[in-house]
Amino acid sequence: MAKEVMERIYTIKVKQRVRRYPRWLRSKKAIRMIRKFLSRHMKTEEENIKIDSTINEKIWERGAQKPPARIKIRAVKFDDGIVEAELFRES
């Protein structure tokens, strides 16, 4: 089993990045933008990022045209370079 190397909590501003796209593409682009953001900040390739279904459901909650303005996620990087991202829930 892979050992956890790093865990981070990010608040990603989605709205300012997806406004440049047509309304019908915004949620799709938001998912790609989150993957690119994590790739840059966790220092790994985009293929190594596993996005949990909770993030996908949150982005698509209001449809393709209105993704949330901000999303708070918890990302964990393992020693083999795999990054797992899930929606952050305070407990």
Q: What would the CATH number be for the domain defined by 10-70? A: 3.10.440.10
| 67-90: pLDDT as tens digits | 999 999 999 999 999 999 999 998
| 43-69: pLDDT as tens digits | 999 999 999 999 999 999 999 999 999
Decide the pairing of beta strands 83-87 and 70-78.
antiparallel
Q: What is the pTM of this model?
A: 0.91
Domain map (residue ranges) of the chain? 10-70
**Residue 91: is its pLDDT beyond 80?**
no
Q: What pLDDT does residue 2 have?
A: 77
Q: What pLDDT does residue 24 have?
A: 95
Q: How far apart are CA 28 and CA 8, in angstroms?
A: 24
